[in-house]
Amino acid sequence: MTIPLLEARDLSAMANGRHLVHAVSLSVASGDRLAIIGPNGAGKTTLLRMLSGMLRPSSGEVKLGGRRLDRISSVERALHIAVVGQTDQPDPRLAVIDYVELGRVPHAGLIRRSEERDIVVDTLRRTGLLPLLGRTIGSLSGGERQRAQLARAIAQQPKVLFLDEPTNHLDPRARGELLELVAGFGMTVIAVLHDLALVAPFATRVAVMSEARLHALAAPREALTQKLIRDIFGVDVFRLRHPTEDRELTVFDVPNRAAPPS
């Protein structure tokens, strides 16, 4: 039997006598890209924080490569796990190249310094940040900063990359491009996503959270049924033929409750 890269069993988080996440079990194989979706307050970020070891569960456990995450030292964990959170506040005085190089700190001394630099420069190139490498983090736009945060995490070369809403500062085109970029690195990714339109092109699997529970866990096409999207998000989904190209469009539509009956 192959051991999943990451496995959560009966994971719960409680605060003030209330479940923020209730008995979630899931596993993630190497190379999976798992999108965690659900309405506001469903428990997505709390689940992500427990899966990445940032938050200790009230009950249940997380295993990474068969080992309990809470028994892996924070130093070793940093070799395996990178997190880009919603509330990260990188030091605005750092130059982009120095900031991205911070991703290499957990590996310090393990490989030669010149190889470290090569990894950083290659990551800057692949994330389109080479022209900005001398700029300070504080001088970047929200979208550029988001790309720099991603680059730092990619330079870390983790076994699992955790992303909490990685596209929230990006324009519609840049959102898709950023996730395409992430997918191109071939890493195992667990990402909280809000934009439902981004899920199917990016994710190999989707975990649907609703009211602290895992409502569904499947490939996007299986999970994102019209019924589920209507029930969980209160929006309609239509699959339409693209008017000029040979492909399908998925359109999410908020029903107009104010419309008079026809």
> Which positions lie near ligand ATP, rule CB under 6 A?
15-16, 20, 38, 40-46
Q: How far is the CB of 108 from ligand ATP (least distance, A)?
A: 32
Cα–Cα distance measured from residue 53 to residue 74, given in angstroms and rounded to the nearest whole number = 9
Q: How far is the CB of 246 from ligand ATP (least distance, A)?
A: 35
Q: What is the CA radius of gyration of the chain?
A: 19
Q: Which is nearer to ligand ATP, 89 or 114 (CB)?
A: 89
Residue 80 near residue 159 (C-beta atoms within 8 A): yes
Place of tokens 């898709």: 176
Give strand pairing partners of 33. 189
Q: How far is the CB of 165 from ligand ATP (least distance, A)?
A: 7
Q: Which is nearer to ligand ATP, 9 or 19 (CB)?
A: 19
Q: How far is the CB of 38 from ligand ATP (least distance, A)?
A: 5
Q: How far is the CB of 232 from ligand ATP (least distance, A)?
A: 12
Q: Which is nearer to ligand ATP, 38 or 103 (CB)?
A: 38
Q: Which is nearer to ligand ATP, 20 or 137 (CB)?
A: 20
Angle between helical axes of 113-126 and 142-155 (0-180°, round to 10): 140
The 3-state DSSP composition of the chain as helix, strand, coil percent (nearest 5) reads 35, 30, 35
Q: Which is nearer to ligand ATP, 45 or 52 (CB)?
A: 45
Strands (E), 107-235: 160-164, 188-192, 205-210, 213-218
